[in-house]
Amino acid sequence: MIQFLEKIDIEALINAVNETLYMTSISFVFSIFIGLFIGVLLYLTSSDGLYSNKIINKIMDMIINVLRAIPFAILIIILFDLATLLTGSMLGATAALPALIIAASPVYARMCVIAFIEVDKGTIEASKSMGASNFEIIFKVLIPEASVALVSSASVLAISLISYTAIAGVIGSGGLGNYAYLYGFSRGNNAVLYTSTFLIVVIVFVVQFVSDYVIKKIDKR
């Protein structure tokens, strides 16, 4: 056991964990907001939405489908190039953020639309009949009534993001994926490889646990 631990550079490991948490949480927050925003727009412009608009709906739909069709490993290479051009630097956790957000936002937007479609049409209609404006309907009815599905989708998204950061890490953006690949796999150091994997699994479990807890709290259906 001691021997096993000796092979691990604790400081580097902690640093890797921090980087993973940093990448995941920043990209999570951004993709939740961007995804929710796009999701609301998609829902509103859909054929029986509050601001039905075929053209805008189709265009957004297409962009989302294209972004979702590009595998993350390829998307991040393309965007790394872009980031290098823009900032001159190539590596580091921050460099991975644009790719993570661009990959995750469309996914969450889709999940939001599904959540909104499941909101009872009658409830929306009732709030209309009480004189609610579209703005009030979105923020006081649609989102709260979809909250359970929105939270459970958010946890799926967070978990996807954790695995995306690992892929980003292999390409060179730091974090546990990077640590596992560079110090574990490349140097044949199994202790590092398994410890990193174990920590990623732990993070995923924590996310799942938190989400289950929140859902249990808010689900009054």
Partner 1 sequence: MIEFKNVYKTFKGKNDIHALNGVSLKIDDGLIYGVIGYSGAGKSTLVRIINQLENCSSGEVLIDGIDQSNLSGKQLRESRQKIGMIFQHFNLMWSRTVFENIEFPLEIAKVKKSERIKIVNELIAMVGLNGREFSYPSELSGGQKQRIGIARALANNPKILLCDEATSALDPETTDSILQLLQSINQKMNITIVMITHQMEVVQKICHKIAVMSDGKVVEVNTVKELFENPKHDVTKRFTQNLDGNVKIEQIKKELKDIYPFGQLLKLTFTGNTSSRPILAETIRQCKLDVSIVNSNITHSIEGPIGAMYVNMANGDATSYQQFIDMLKNEGVSVEIL
Q: Which residues bind partner 1 (CB under 8 A)?
A: 120, 122-123, 125-133, 136, 140-141, 144-145, 147, 218, 220-221
Cβ at position 217, least distance to partner 1 in Å? 12
Rounded CA separation 128/122 (Å): 10
Supply the minimum distance, in Å, between the C-beta of residue 131 and partner 1.
4
> Which residue shows structure tokens 């890490």?
169
Q: Are 178 and 170 in contact (CB under 8 A)?
A: yes
Which residue lies nearer to partner 1 by CB, 21 or 132?
132
Beta carbon of residue 146, minimum distance to partner 1 (angstroms, whole number) = 9
d(Cα 37, Cα 32) in Å, to the nearest integer?
Answer: 8
Instruction: Name the residue nearer to partner 1 (CB basis): 41 or 149.
Output: 149
Nearer to partner 1, 76 or 112 (CB): 112
Q: How far is the CB of 121 from partner 1 (least distance, A)?
A: 9
Q: What's the CA gap between 47 and 198, in Å, rounded?
A: 46
Separation of alpha carbons 4 and 180, rounded Å: 15
- Alpha-carbon distances, residue 160 vs 5, 101, 142, 150, 183 (angstroms): 29, 12, 25, 15, 23
Residue with tokens 């727009």: 41
Q: Is the Cβ of residue 25 or residue 134 nearer to partner 1 in the bound state?
A: 134
Shortest distance (Å) from residue 130 CB to partner 1: 4
Query: Cβ of residue 65: shortest distance to partner 1, in angstroms?
Result: 28
Residues with Cβ within 8 Å of 81's Cβ and at least 6 positions away in sequence, in order, are: none
CA 32 – CA 40 distance, rounded (Å) = 12
What is the residue whose two structure tokens read 């393309």? 78
Q: Which is nearer to partner 1, 8 or 143 (CB)?
A: 143
Q: What is the chain's Cα-based Rg? A: 21
Looking at beta carbons only, is 36 or 168 nearer to partner 1? 36
